[in-house]
Amino acid sequence: MAASSRAQVLDLYRAMLRESKRFSAYNYRTYAVRRIRDAFRENKNVKDPVEIQTLVNKAKRDLGIIRRQA
């Protein structure tokens, strides 16, 4: 993974965790944090740049959903 791609993914990961902690309900908050961590861990060994970009785009859409719901 290129350095810029790695930085982009880490920024996205941090932003998703930060936004998910804004859920007022404890169950939603812990579920969101767990799902985010699991998803990023599951895909940490992906090497294909096209697949990485697809996953980044999906994470950006999910971040938008989290921001609207939190």
CB-CB contact of 58 with 9 (8 Å): no
> What pTM does this model have?
0.88
Q: Please say if the pLDDT value at position 19 is more than 70.
A: yes
User: Which range, of 1-10, 12-21, 25-34, averages the lowest pLDDT?
Assistant: 1-10
User: Count of H helices and E strands in the chain?
Assistant: 3, 0
pLDDT digit string, tens, across residues 25-56: 999 999 999 999 999 999 999 999 999 999 99
Token pair recorded at residue 70: 């939190």
Angle at 5 between CA 1 and CA 52, to 5 degrees: 70
